[in-house]
Amino acid sequence: MRHCSVQVRGLLTREELDRYNALMEVGSYLESQTRYDLAYTVQQEVDLLIQPAIERLKDKSRARDKMTEEYLASLRNDSAEDES
């Protein structure tokens, strides 16, 4: 079973995290029983479950990029005013 990143896990709601942990436990058990066909199905469910958290992470990244862009623009404006 493939785990999602720590950043994505940090953005899961409590309900999503509980379900994620349960699915990972089931998937690990299935792998230990060499039932990879069923573990694959569980992995697909995990992948669907984490999609909203991935989108939340992307939104945070976009917001951070926008704040950085605004900060750099303000620095350019300040330096242009200082030269005047």
Banded pLDDT at 81 (limits 50, 70, 90):
confident
**Which residue, 2, 6, 7, 4, is CA-closest to 57?**
7
pLDDT, averaged across the chain = 94
Q: pLDDT (tens digit, 9 = 90+) per residue, 38-69?
A: 999 999 999 999 999 999 999 999 999 999 99
